[in-house]
Amino acid sequence: MDHEQLKRGGAVLAPSLFTVGNMACGFMSLLSTSQNRFAAAAWFILIGIVFDMLDGKVARLVHGESKFGVEFDSLADNTTFGIAPAYLMYEYVLKVYGQWAIPVAFLFALCGTLRLARYNLGTHEDESPSNYFSGLPIPAAAGILASFVLLYDILEQDKPVRMLKILMREIPLVYPLIPFIMIGLSFLMISKIPYRAMKQPSVLRPRSVKTLLSTIMGISLIYIYPQDAIFIFFAVYVFSGLAAWMWRTVHRTH
């Protein structure tokens, strides 16, 4: 094996290590849920999102994109962002609804899998890179559920942490809406509503004072109120694509 082959092999292996970390987080989330450690299960899902973001960045940095990497990444994503949050929400919220719990949880896992399969199909057909995803990305759907669990766990356990009182007062009202939220997230994932691809460099490199200030405010909020900020971020992202689509639809009909 010559130097170029070794170099290419290393480039493919590097992002795969982060994908392994992602999948490990999904496994640990499932294990934590089975032990009724729901906050830990939610944190593992959120850490998995970080690994998922890093594997793509590393792949582009070292030019290690490959069909193997795409398939491996999707299988890991399905575990961490499809199966793990569906099981977490079933045990934490849904099972009190009896016979309706399983179909709702399964629908989320199914639509997440379909979302990943559609994304892979587009990748294999060599579609040109876009600044937008078609449908809600599965990590965002998992992220809003996991961050909700963290917030509700703070209230339920009366944990002494800093929190945004204006948000925390509303969290108990969200609890009974979880089945409907999960159904909505499921259909958003398989929809064709465009969502901004947060992995794009232009999103991460502010080019205006307004964007820079927003970034600083966001980082400050995460530092002061981490759990609240994570939930707000995912909620804003989920509603941003939906709101933009509704705005365009209304204006298109006039």
Distances (CA, A) of 177 to 80, 180, 184: 23, 5, 11
CATH fold group of domain 3-252: Four Helix Bundle (Hemerythrin (Met), subunit A) (1.20.120)
Q: Which of 140, 166, 126 is nearest to 80 (CA)?
A: 140
Q: Tell me the pLDDT band of 117, cut-offs 50, 70 and 90.
A: very high
Q: Tell me the pLDDT band of 10, cut-offs 50, 70 and 90.
A: very low
In the chain, where the domains are located: 3-252
Q: What is the pTM of this model?
A: 0.86
Q: Buried b vs exposed e over 44-72: b needs ≥16 C-beta within 10 Å?
A: bbbbbbebbebbbebbeebebeeeebbeb
Helix (H) / strand (E) containing 132: strand 132-134
Length in residues, the chain? 254
Q: Tell me the pLDDT band of 48, cut-offs 50, 70 and 90.
A: very high
